Amino acid sequence: MQIWLNYLDQILIAAALGLSLNLLLGHAGQVSVAHAAFGAIGGYTMGYVVTTYNWNLMWTVLLGVGFSFLVGGLLALVAMRLSVEYLILLTLAFGNVLIGVISAIPALGGTYGIIQIDTEPHTLNIFGLSMDRPGDWVLPLFVMVIITYAICWRMGESAYGRVLKGIREDPVATRSLGKNTFKVQIMVFAITSALAGLAGAMNAAWLAVSTPNVFGFNFSLTVVAIVIFGGMANLKGTLIGAFILTALKPFLERTIKIDPAQAFLIQILVYGILLVILVMVRPAGLMPEGRTFISFVRRGKNAGRTEMSAKTAALVEPDFAARARAAEVDQRTRHAKWEQAEVVLEARGISKSFGGIVAAEDLDFVLKQGTITALVGPNGAGKTTVFNLLTGNIVPDRGTVHLRGKDITGRSLDAAARQGLVRSFQDVRLFQRLTCLDNVLFGVQEQAGEKLPTLFGRPGAVSKSNAAAHEKAMEWLTFVGMQDFANVPAGALSYGQTKLISLARVLSTEAEVLLLDEPASGIDTKWVDNMLDLVLAIAAKGRTVAIVEHNLRVVTELADHAYFMELGRITAEGTVDDLTSSPRLAAAYFGTV
């Protein structure tokens, strides 16, 4: 019986490591092959302190967790600035170097490691209970898995987890909505490292040894395989994956009666075959993101519903909200209104060069409250670059940007959004795997669940904040006529529908200044009319709007004031009629469109 309990201990340890890695890899999209290395930090810390100072097991485990958190955070400061390819190489190198350094330290047992942790009678005990047999470890390891699962679930299935998924899907779009992605990435890497250290410390205590081969590269690959096999961003799938892949070897040895040496080789072979089959047949894993145990059992029925949703969503038109169009007024009257309006954003002398290419040169312009300003010009004039310079996505070489008198020049993209300056993107950049409601929820600011202390310390405040955020997001979905698509994945929408969700997402930030990059491009006339109504309604609410748009009809009907750009410079400004009546400007605009 004890041998089967020993195998159960192995499954529980593998599950704990897989859960923490799935939070990092599945939810946040941060690829790491150093998870076993952080387990080694926890295991060696526990082993060294116990054998050297005879500390109690629980205190040494906590020390290992803290040390793993610290090292993980320091590594993340470097790692999170790298692309995925270099992140893999860095974590791989870190794991190998760490094991190499540990093996060279005599105090840590050198090449052989710490091979007898329980040097004093009953040093390895929990609350006075000795841990002499595999069965004694089942309950403590089970508690460890529950704690790990609870932490990962709380972080992954919350407003904080939504930010993690945004980082995975599109970090730039996430930053544009006011989320400090770098801070979140550092924290999630450090926390998952700490959880790996917890599993590593418990693993070393269970084995009563902490050696390099226990936490080697093969162990890291096994943990990664568990996550991929079970399903990315699905913690329940990780539990299934840990059970199947960890139980495979004892199944071959004890049930089929295969020689242990051969069983190991067969296990590796079966691993490879299973992963190849899974990638071909079910690339999202046994339990894809969003699936539950019930849907896993009844997968045919639920899959059909999902497929139908994806097929029909793009064919169903939104319920265009009935709203009164602004009274038709001539451009001179609208321009007079613009001249009298209060300046909200002022850019002076903005310049940016990329090598010998001048993207922007001495740009001076203002955006005024409750008005719509257009930035027009031929392709390649630098209009979208201006939006990037204003929001900090690109830092200008010279010049200043002031928002309500406050200098925001060169602020990061997320900092600009939190100050009240938010932009949309020409290519929409929705989070394809998330629902329309989740996409719009990204824009809602100051959500309690996005702050870890509040997330874990004030559940009541988090629930209240979540309800308010959902209500606000639904209001903006209704405003653009997409309320019936709240639970439809953004990847299932038509292009025109994605434009509406993108607009709702920007509006949900409630930013004072909105920069809309070609909001009406690529959609048919009926959708354009609705978009015109929406933008006019936004300005009527007192919000300041700037648009980049090639559709002359859109610019004519919307703009209270327009700036004309050529080769990175503003060469004219005034009403749209003023600009289009100039033969030179008309030739420059229409000759290249």
Write down which residue in 192, 216, 240 finishes a domain.
Answer: 216
Instruction: Write out pLDDT tens, residues 464-475.
Output: 999 999 999 999
Give the model's pLDDT for residue 318: 65
Instruction: Write out pLDDT tens, residues 183-203.
Output: 999 999 999 999 999 999 999
Q: What is the CATH number of the domain that holds 560?
A: 3.40.50.300
Give the model's pLDDT for residue 581: 86
Mean pLDDT of the chain: 88
**Residues recorded for the chain:** 593
Confidence of residue 367 (pLDDT cuts 50, 70, 90): very high
Same domain, yes or no: 204 and 351: no
Classified as helix, coil or strand, 387 is helix
Parent domain of 167: 2-216
| Domain assignment present for 27 | yes
Burial label, 480 (beta-carbon count in 10 A; 0-12, 13-18, 19+): buried
Instruction: Write out pLDDT tens, residues 75-86.
Output: 999 988 888 888
Contact in structure between 110 and 103 (CB atoms under 8 Å) = yes
Confidence of residue 316 (pLDDT cuts 50, 70, 90): low
Region 308-329 average pLDDT: 54
Residues in contact with 279: Cβ distance below 8 Å, sequence separation at least 6, in sequence order = none
Same domain, yes or no: 386 and 513: yes
Residue 17: beta bridge partners?
none
Number of CB atoms found within 10 A of residue 459's CB: 13
| Domain assignment present for 558 | yes
Give the model's pLDDT for residue 306: 42
Instruction: Write out pLDDT tens, residues 111-168.
Output: 899 988 865 554 567 766 777 788 889 999 999 999 999 999 999 999 999 999 999 9
Give the model's pLDDT for residue 301: 46
Give the model's pLDDT for residue 115: 86
Same domain, yes or no: 398 and 521: yes
Confidence of residue 223 (pLDDT cuts 50, 70, 90): very high
| Domain assignment present for 40 | yes
| Domain assignment present for 337 | yes
Give the model's pLDDT for residue 329: 66
Instruction: Write out pLDDT tens, residues 226-259.
Output: 999 899 999 999 999 999 988 887 877 777 777 7
Statement: residue 322 has pLDDT above 50: no
Phi, psi of 574 (to 5 degrees): 145, -155
Contact in structure between 95 and 36 (CB atoms under 8 Å) = yes
Instruction: Write out pLDDT tens, residues 93-127.
Output: 999 999 999 999 999 999 899 988 865 554 567 76
Same domain, yes or no: 350 and 210: no
Choice between 271 and 583, residue whose per-residue pLDDT is larger: 583
DSSP 447: -
| Domain assignment present for 321 | no
Nearest-CA neighbor of 542 among 567, 507, 569?
507
Q: Which residue has the tokens 């939104």?
A: 318
Give the model's pLDDT for residue 120: 53
Classified as helix, coil or strand, 292 is coil
Number of CB atoms found within 10 A of residue 2's CB: 10
Instruction: Write out pLDDT tens, residues 531-558.
Output: 999 999 999 999 999 999 888 889 999 9
CA atoms within 13 A on the CB side of 244: 19
Contact in structure between 206 and 263 (CB atoms under 8 Å) = no
- Percent of the chain at pLDDT above 70? 91
Count up the domains in the chain and report the number.
2
| Domain assignment present for 65 | yes
| Domain assignment present for 393 | yes
Contact in structure between 233 and 433 (CB atoms under 8 Å) = no
Region 578-585 average pLDDT: 86
| Domain assignment present for 57 | yes
Same domain, yes or no: 501 and 367: yes
Write down which residue in 201, 216, 231 finishes a domain.
Answer: 216
Write down which residue in 199, 216, 233 finishes a domain.
Answer: 216
